[in-house]
Every structure is written in C-alpha cells, then in structure tokens.
Amino acid sequence: MNVMFRISLIALAVFASSSLATAALPLVDRLEPLGVVRGEETTVTFHGQRISDAYQVLADVPGIEILEVKAVDNKKVEVKLKTNKDLAPGLYPVRLITKSGIANLRLIGVGAMPIVKEAEPNNEFDKPQTIEINKTIEGVVTREDIDHYQVKLTKGQTLNIEIEGIRLAFSLRNQNILDPYIAILDEGRFEVATSDDSPLLQQDGLCSFTAPEDGTYTILVRDSSFRGNPICGYRLHVGTFPRPVAVVPAGGMPGSMMKSKLVDMHHGVTEASVQLPSETNDRWPVVTENENGVSPSPNWVRVNELPVVMEKEPNDDYRKAPEYTAPAAFCGLIDKANDYDCYAFTAKKGKRYRIEAFAREVLRSPLDAYCNVFGPDNKTIASSDDSRGKVDPFMEFTAKADGKHTVRVYDQLRGGSPIHNYRIEVTMPDPTFALTLKELRRDEAQVVSVPAGGSIAMVVTSARSVYNGEIQMELAGLPEGVAATTFPIPPGRNEIPVVLTASKDAKQTASLFAVAGHGDEKNFNVMGRLSQTHKLVLGQNRRHMWAYKTNRAAMAVTEKAPFSIELVQPKTPIVRSGSKNLLVKIVRDEGFDGVVSLRTLYNPPGVGVNNSRRIDKGKTEALIPITANGSAAIGKWPVIMVASYATKNGTAYISTEAALLDVQNSIFKYEFPKSAGELGSEVSVALKMEVLREYEGDAEVQLVGMPNGVTSPTPIQKINKDTKVVTFPLVIADNAKVAKHKTLNVQSRIKVGDETIVQTTGTGELRVDKPLPPKKDAPKVAKKAVAKKPAAPKALSRLEQLRQAKN
C-alpha cells in the first residue's frame, strides 16, 4: 500500500560514490557469443564476477525468451534463450539477476544472418579467412591484431559491411574498449572503402562498395589505434542487406503510415512506407527489409502529434521563407554545401515558443546543426548550436510582437549532402517533466535490491519544463511481495525518495518497473515518465562514448539482511538553529555480530546529519546527531537511514522505514550586547530575551562558547514565558587572552518527557582588555570640597567607570 505524505520542499544529498565502491552487486564483463540469430535457440555464457548465485535474466523486450539460467561458478553463468523469428535485428538489453543483486545492463546482438566464428591465423592479407557473403562474423581484436576476411563479388554487386564493436562493450574506466576500423580492399591491396567512426553508429563503422567487376575482395578489421584485448569482441555483418543512413522525413504522427525516402551511403534513394506506433516515442527504430536482406541495426525517427512539414525549395533566404502554421515539425535535408533551409510561422505577442532541432542526437545525422530565429523585423532573436549538454540546437523565446518569425538551419561547418537530414520541432511548450533514478554509484544506472523482510530506498529525480508544482508518483511492475511508499515531489524541488519494502515471505525474483507521475489536483494532466540512461562506455576524462536508454528500471528481491533496523520516530521537533539526536536500533540475527554503518539517503533542506556513525560489534543502537540551520524549511519531512554491512560478496544495504522529522521555527530570540571587561575583573552579560511562541515543558538556557580564562559561576539559568532578560555573571582570569571574542552563544533546552528540544543562538561578543596603565609624573592636585546640591545618580559609561577605578 502506498502511503502519501504531503510535503512542500526537500533537498537530497546522495551517497558519495566511494562509499559504494564495494557494493555487493554482480558484474557481467562479457557475453559469449556476443549475439544470436533470431528465431533460434542459443546458449549464451555470461562471464563476470560474483555471479555464482544467478537465477534469472531480465530482457526488456517480449521477443527474447529466457529458457534456463545455470550458474557454473562465481565467474560464469550459462543462459539458454530463444528469440522470436520476427524480432527486428539490433541490440537488446539483458540483465543477470543473482540472489544478492542485479548485474549491469549488457547488450546482446540479434541478427538475421548465420554466425561464423573468426578462425586464426587471419592476420595477413595473403592468408585471410574465407567466408561466404551474407554472414555475421564474431571475432576478437587483440593488441596490434588485424583480422582479414575474403569474399567473392560479381560485377555490379554491392557489399555492405557494418560492425558492432564499441556498442557491445562495457567499460567505465576507459579499458578494454574496441574502437574498430574497417576497410574493403581489392586484389591489389588498395582500400576501396573505409570507415572508422560513422554518424549513424557513432564510433562503430560501416562501409559500402559496388564491385566494378568480378573479383575477390578482402575485409579488414582492427582497432583504430592498434590496441586490443582478448575480451574486445566484435560482430561484423557482411552482406547485400539494405543499409539506409537517413530517413526523410525523420518522423511522423502516431499510428500513421509514413511515406519515406530511405537514403543509402551512395545517396541512392528508395521509397518506403513505414508504419509508426500508436503511441508517441522520442526515438523509434526503423528497420529496413527487402529481397536482399534486412539491415543489421535500425535508423531512428521521432513519433509525436506534430504535423510534419517537408521543406520546399527555394527556402535559403530567411527574409523570403515560405510560411507555415506552428506548432509543426519541419523536416528536410541540408543537401549541399552552404545550403540554408528556412521556415516561417506566425507568432503571437507574449506567447512562449520552443525551437528544438534533432539531427546528430537522435537521428544520428551527419548534420552539425546551427539554428537562428528571426523576428518580424528580420533581426535575430535567438541562436543555438549545441545546448543542454546535447549536440543539437535548442531555444526558447517569448514573442515581442505579432507577425512572421523565421527559423533557419544550416551546417555549422557549411557542409551538406543528401544524408544531412534534420527535424525541427516548433512548439509552444506545455507543462511537463521527465523522471529518472538518481545514480548512487557514479556513472552507473541505479538498480534496486530489496532485502526480503526489509526495506531499501531510491531517489527519483525530475527535470521540469514549465511546471513547478507538486508531482505525485505511481510505480508499476514491482516484484511480487514488494510495496512502495511514495512521497510527492514538492513544488520547486526536483528530487524525492521512495521506500521499497519486501514482505517476509517474498520470493527472490526480479522485474522491470516503471514510474509515472502527474501534477497536483489543478494540473492532473501534466504527465511525466521514467527514462534511464545506462552509461556503457566511458573514455578519457570519463567522457561519455556510448549509452543505452530504457523506460523501465530493474528491481529484485534479494537475500534477507542478518538484522532488522528501525529509526525511532522522534517525539519532539527540531527547531531552527537547533539540534537533536536520532535513535537507530537493530535486532541482530543469531550469529551476526558485524559492524553496521549508518547514513541518510537524503537530508531535509537546512538539516545536517552526522553520517559517520555506526553500530559496533556487540552493540544494538546508535545516536545520530542532526542540526538545523536558521533557515531550515519548516514542515514534516521523511527521514530514512541506510545501513551498510559486509557480506562475502562485498557491501550490502538495508534501509529503515521513513520517520517524520518535524522542523519548527525557533522558540526563543536573544539580543546579545557587546560586552567588555579587563583581566582579573568581573562583568555581567545581560541578554534581552523574547519567547516567540508557546511551548510545553521546563526550559533553561546555558551560556556556552566562553573563551579560555573566562568562566561563569551560574552558566545555566531557568527561563519561562515571562522572562525578558537573562543575566550571566562572568569572571575574567588574569591569564585570559586579550582579544575580541565572538564565540558566545546560548543553548536553550526544553525538557519534554524523555526528549529535549535544543536551540543554539549566537554569537555574542566579549572583549577582554588589559588594565589601563597608571599615569606617570602627573602632578597631584589637592581636591577642594565644593558643596553641591545632591543630584540624582547618573549612569556611567564603561570608559568612565574604568577611569574612576584608576583614580
């Protein structure tokens, strides 16, 4: 059952990555084989670490059926699977599940052609491995290794080759990465086609060559820097299959039949009809199939409700651009060098407009798009190249006048070709948000391991657009026996925790779950869904080189923790400028005496937590000091403690259920005077005091922060609602440090039952002075008694008091 707490603000501070470096999570280093043939049954070996207790594999698509999971040892698991015969070729995510957690996502290749294994030696041009056309070769590139494959072509026959290298890798440390280079060589050893990186496949390449005559041709595969490693595997697709590199237009409306032009590497165009899905999709795969085969990987288009507008030449001059109606998706090609495409639409004064281009980021186009927006006076309103950490333009502007506004797109390097396709979406942005799970380990997509009979917490983050209100969340697809405790993401905030709890009798199983959110009661139709980016390959300086996105995350019920844990609900609030202790208790299972370390998953805004506390061997509880600063957000906040403990596979985690921390305003206000005294003297510090609000219980205040050599005979004073001034006598020793001390503060304490509300206020100033030296050689003048009329005593300043004391 979901429990909803209405809260208004929250700030999150996640675990430091170093604290999770030894997490008890399985790791999959590689798959063998790297891919399968669709429609066939195959046994794939998962190689890795901490996987001897594997029992399940999750696949993100229904076209992959897991038949059997058999752990061989702690580094090898055999998985028998079968793919649907109609499954589109491409890369698909699989995740190995063990009793202790969820392994990293890996991609497995699914192809339509038979697989041939590389056979060494094939390092020399004169001694290649002979293969038939329309095959997929699985091989390995070791250091300075060059693999050669020989095929025969007839005159006019087109050979397409595509390699999966870096797209099959997993490396977050810039190691064991294959950055492939491929080439087609003729019989004279001349390269007739080459590819290192490619716009469509990023750092994987593809080549195409049409034979001018019958002959034997050689395909070369190596690492672009002549590096390599025994686990640097690749899948090389060799055949006559179609290989378009651009789809025009680059998207359409849901459920429509899109009339498209498929452009290949030689700029040949094929007319095609593409059935688009019934739901919107930010990145939809288009796989091409004809009598020559099926493309080994898809092209990408966008599917949404925007009407598509195809470019019409001439449209180079932004002052004479053809006019259309917005919102719309403008699709076209920068089909030659120095080409400009312009689209005009009528904007209304005061309306907000969004211009978002899609080229390299989604479509994998070679176009390095640059966009301008011009107003009715033909003056530039906005310009954009790369934006928001992406490689395509993005702009928003508010129209200052009614009339024609124009969008212009061109290549930043002034290039162009029939495959430089783009899609520019012009919209009036609606309120929305996107959800994801916050990484708790640097660069690793968060997975959720819920111990049987216990709880764990995750953090959901939102990226807001035009909407700043409350976000309610729902989770679907949780493993059987797991329940979620959700909290609204408060207005103006971007993060919130979710607590997952598995029942005591929950079976060990795993599932892929989704998270959906909606706005508050007035904005219920504002929607957002989960998307998760899995970083698979990081290069130098942890630069993102290859990643895969999913719309569901993985959750598993794992082994029971060897103890239960409770965060005791505080009975009293914490006040601004206050402090208190949280009590954490554990009940150990028989035989478990390990150390349990404690920390918060997040902190309420303005609240600091001591995250270095632990429960040592033989102990069952710990006090966690927390503090609230003077601007801590008032309200009731859920607080969750996460406990870590050692297992044979590393560190495992369990969390408490949420306790509500009541943050209230300060109760007392103090006004510190500037106080001063000489060495060896006694002074008093009188603080004006105001009770800001009613309270229950007995109260006292203590003066603390006195400098060395300064003491008070009565540092603790009783106070009540009628107290206006609190006076603390101070004794300044002869050896106290002469200086201006700004360390005085007062700690107010209210005893309520067996808990204490503590507020600390300061700082006050105490100046410690040296005594004034006596005057030297001053003539003594006899004082004459002068009869004066008695007058009322006059208050003396501190300086006058000191002067009188020396006379």
Distance CA 1, CA 3 (A): 6
Distant-in-sequence, close-in-space partners of 140: CB < 8 Å, separation ≥ 6: 118, 228, 230, 231, 232, 233, 234
Tokens of 397: 């502007």
320 φ/ψ angles, rounded to the nearest 5 degrees: -130, 30
Q: What is the pLDDT of residue 763?
A: 86
**Mode of pairing for the β-strands spanning 596-600 and 614-615:** antiparallel
* Sequence-ordered strand ranges (E) for 308-393: 308-310, 323-324, 328-333, 340-347, 352-358, 369-374, 380-384
pLDDT digits (tens, 9 = 90+) for 638-666: 899 999 999 887 889 999 999 999 999 99
Q: What is the pLDDT of residue 173?
A: 87
pLDDT digits (tens, 9 = 90+) for 194-251: 999 999 999 999 999 999 999 999 999 999 999 999 999 999 999 999 999 999 999 9
Distance CA 200, CA 208 (A): 14
Give 331's strand partners.
310, 423
Q: Is residue 478 within 8 Å of residue 433, measured between CB atoms?
A: no
Distance CA 749, CA 768 (A): 28
168 φ/ψ angles, rounded to the nearest 5 degrees: -105, 0
Q: What is the pLDDT of residue 266?
A: 95
What mean pLDDT, rounded, does the chain reach? 92
pLDDT digits (tens, 9 = 90+) for 691-707: 999 998 899 999 999 99
SS3 166: helix
pLDDT digits (tens, 9 = 90+) for 399-421: 999 999 999 999 999 999 999 99
pLDDT digits (tens, 9 = 90+) for 60-101: 989 999 999 999 999 999 999 999 999 999 999 999 999 999
**Mode of pairing for the β-strands spanning 35-37 and 106-111:** parallel
pLDDT digits (tens, 9 = 90+) for 737-748: 999 999 999 999
Distance CA 628, CA 630 (A): 7
DSSP-derived secondary structure for 415-470: ---TT-EEEEEEE-PPPEEEEEEPPSBTTB---EEEETTSEEEEEEEEEEEB--S-
Task: Produce one character per residue of 245-280: b if its CB has 16 or more CB atoms within 10 Å, e if not.
Answer: bbbbbbbbeeeeebebbbbbbeeeeeebebebeeee
Distance CA 541, CA 340 (A): 36
Distance CA 26, CA 21 (A): 12
Total residue count of the chain as it appears in this document: 807
When pLDDT is averaged across residues 345-372 and rounded to a whole number, the result is 97
623 φ/ψ angles, rounded to the nearest 5 degrees: -100, 130
Instruction: Please report which confidence band the pLDDT of residue 8 belongs to, taking 50, 70 and 90 as the band edges.
Output: very low
Instruction: Please report which confidence band the pLDDT of residue 806 belongs to, taking 50, 70 and 90 as the band edges.
Output: low
Name the CA dihedral angle for 734, 737, 738, 743, rounded to a multiple of 10 degrees: -120
Q: Is residue 491 within 8 Å of residue 469, measured between CB atoms?
A: yes
Domains with residue ranges and CATH for the chain: 115-239 (2.60.120.380), 563-664 (2.60.40.10), 668-769 (2.60.40.3670)
Distance CA 402, CA 693 (A): 55
When pLDDT is averaged across residues 91-119 and rounded to a whole number, the result is 97
Instruction: Please report which confidence band the pLDDT of residue 780 belongs to, taking 50, 70 and 90 as the band edges.
Output: low
pLDDT digits (tens, 9 = 90+) for 603-617: 888 999 999 999 999
Tokens of 130: 């002979």
Instruction: Please report which confidence band the pLDDT of residue 10 belongs to, taking 50, 70 and 90 as the band edges.
Output: very low
422 pLDDT higher than 80: yes
Q: Is residue 603 within 8 Å of residue 550, measured between CB atoms?
A: no
- 3-state helix vs strand vs coil in the chain, percent to 5: 5, 55, 45
307 pLDDT higher than 50: yes
- Cα 407 versus chain centre, distance: 32
SS3 522: helix
Q: What is the pLDDT of residue 17?
A: 35
Tokens of 71: 């752990």
Name the CA dihedral angle for 589, 591, 597, 603, rounded to a multiple of 10 degrees: -10
**Mode of pairing for the β-strands spanning 323-324 and 340-347:** parallel
Report which secondary-structure segment, H or E, holds 157. none
What proportion of the chain, given as a percentage, has pLDDT over 90? Answer: 85
- Cα 778 versus chain centre, distance: 78
Distance CA 610, CA 600 (A): 9
What proportion of the chain, given as a percentage, has pLDDT over 70? Answer: 93
